[in-house]
Amino acid sequence: MRWKLGTAAYKRVPSRDAAMDPDLETPAEKTPDGGGGGAGAGAGPSWRRSLPHVCVATVTSFLFGYHTGVVNEPLESISADLGFAGNTLAEGLVVSICLGGAFVGCLFSGSVADGIGRRRAFQLSTLPMIVGAALSALTNSLEGMLFGRLLVGAGMGLGPPVASLYITEVSPPSVRGMYGSFVQIATCLGILFSLLVGTPVKDIDRWWRVCFWVSAVPAVLQAIAMEFCVESPQWLYKCGRTNEAEMQFEKLLGPLHVKSAMAELSRSERGDDGESVKFSELFYGRHFNVVFIGTTLFALQQLSGINSVFYFSSTVFRSVGVPSSLANICMGIANLLGSIIAMLLMDKLGRKMLLVGSFFFMAFSMGLQAIGANRHLGSASV
């Protein structure tokens, strides 16, 4: 197996900061019909054309975040209504079985996206989310809940990788980094929204069923909205549908940038600006360092225990006498603010500085957690 390491699909703008300015769109892009004179042809493509398509794509990340936190607050009510209260194994399975489904889904996300296209892959990912959410909301048994969560997980694994790929392929280079951060922001918004929706669970009987029904709404909306979004020009070009790829570039970049985008895409596909490497070469030589650092960063992020916080924070907060609803909302807001700050500072401070700074504050926060747990539980229990 050989992989191609190519450049972006179309030309990069010389000045990153200047290109971020929405006022630098061409006169052709300012007219409603996309027409206009040739003045300003040297300016980069506008970010406004691709923004609606990017926002629709990030709905799948919003759903990923929502299903991550949806059982946090209602877990106690779910276990009581379905008859497994006090069974920590069953509670853990209800929370985590979606990750098993996500693992399976992500294994097929790339082949599905390449086989049927990005838009259809998005729509396909919403199907198990809708069915799984409905099954979870209607079930009266632990088995039904587990199967519903497993289906939801399959959609969680299939959608977000396609979203990252799609956003990269439809975004102008000048805003690609910022648009890429929308995936994480949407995930944080989904987590926060799930915590807000779960707040009334203590006061309204069987409110947890409503929490699952709510998640079906954005999934249905995304499936419908994708009918009006562009298909990835890169995918169309690879399928030999050159004319359609040009039409999609015109919608995304404006007519003045179609030729340069197609030329860059053609060079990338021919390998003029890239190189082919064997899959095995990712594990030795100069490629190994990049692969090792990237995978280690993701592993360390997961080993920090952040997922367990979003899954069981209500239980932890209640055990120490903290109002879980208020604490969960504050936690979700802090998570969202961190992602927004990273988006704003990414191009100014650089990726490395943000990573080092974030790991430092993570270590500091985990130290505070250890001290707090030690004082509450006693040194013998930590």
Q: For a pLDDT cut of 70, what percent of the chain falls above it?
A: 82
Tokens of 41: 């042809």
Stretch among 202-206, 314-318, 345-349 having the lowest mean pLDDT = 314-318
Mean pLDDT score, 129-136: 97
* pLDDT of 260 strictly over 90: no
Domains, in order of start, for the chain:
47-233+246-262 (1.20.1250.20)
Q: How many CB atoms lie within 10 A of CB 321?
A: 7
Q: Tell me if 30 sits within 8 A of 37, measured CB to CB.
A: no
H helix or E strand, kind and range, residue 197: helix 176-197
pLDDT of residue 306: 77
Mean pLDDT score, 205-232: 96
Tens-place pLDDT, residues 278-326: 767 777 767 788 888 888 888 887 787 777 777 777 777 777 677 667 7
Q: Tell me if 339 sits within 8 A of 185, measured CB to CB.
A: yes
Q: Tell me if 194 sits within 8 A of 218, measured CB to CB.
A: no
Tens-place pLDDT, residues 35-72: 443 434 456 788 888 999 999 999 999 999 999 999 98
pLDDT of residue 266: 81
Cα separation, 335 vs 309, in Å, equals: 11
What average pLDDT does the structure give for the chain?
82
Hey, which of 105-114, 313-322, 324-333 has the most confident mean pLDDT? 105-114
Mean pLDDT score, 158-167: 94
Mean pLDDT score, 167-174: 89
Strands 275-278, 2-5: pairing is: antiparallel
pLDDT of residue 359: 82
Mean pLDDT score, 110-134: 96
Alpha-carbon torsion angle 345, 348, 353, 359, nearest 10: 0
DSSP tag of 21: -
pLDDT of residue 36: 41
Q: Which of 18, 1, 28 is nearest to 276 (CA)?
A: 1
Q: Which of 187, 207, 189 is nearest to 198 (CA)?
A: 207
Phi and psi angles of residue 2, each rounded to the nearest 5 degrees, phi first: -125, 135
The H helix count followed by the E strand count for the chain is 17, 2
* pLDDT of 354 strictly over 80: yes
Q: Report residue 139's pLDDT band, with 50, 70 and 90 as the boundaries.
A: very high
Cα separation, 20 vs 35, in Å, equals: 22
Q: What is the pTM of this model?
A: 0.79
Mean pLDDT score, 167-187: 88
Cα separation, 37 vs 254, in Å, equals: 12
Q: Which of 83, 199, 98 is nearest to 139 (CA)?
A: 83
